[in-house]
Structure 1
């Protein structure tokens, strides 16, 4: 799994951080997403998919490793 985030679209809701804190964080000044691990281990994939699914701004994009 390869993750990318669109910081411009991010609204800072923080759901991704609550669901997958090993993969996502937020900037202190404005709450915008910080991607901690663009290629997380398989055991975190379900949480990452959930995070992408609940993101109100659709700022998390999932792809396959190439």
Structure 2
């Protein structure tokens, strides 16, 4: 799995951080998402999918790694 984020779309809700704190964080100054791991291990895939699903701004994109 490959994860990407669109910082311009991010509204700073923090839902991704709650769902997958090992993969996402937020900038202190404005709450915009910070991607900590663009290729998370398999054991985090469910949490990352949840984070993408609950993102109110649809700022998280998931792709299957080749």
For normalisation by structure 2, the TM-score amounts to: 0.98
Q: How well do the aligned residues superpose, as a CA RMSD in angstroms?
A: 0.5
**Ranges of 4+ aligned residues in structure 1 off by more than 4 Å:** none
Q: How many residues are paired up?
A: 66
- For 2:58, the equivalent position in structure 1 comes to 58
For normalisation by structure 1, the TM-score amounts to: 0.98
**Distance of 2:3 and 2:10 partners within structure 1:** 14
Q: Structure 1: which 5+ runs fail to align?
A: none
Q: Structure 2: which 5+ runs fail to align?
A: none
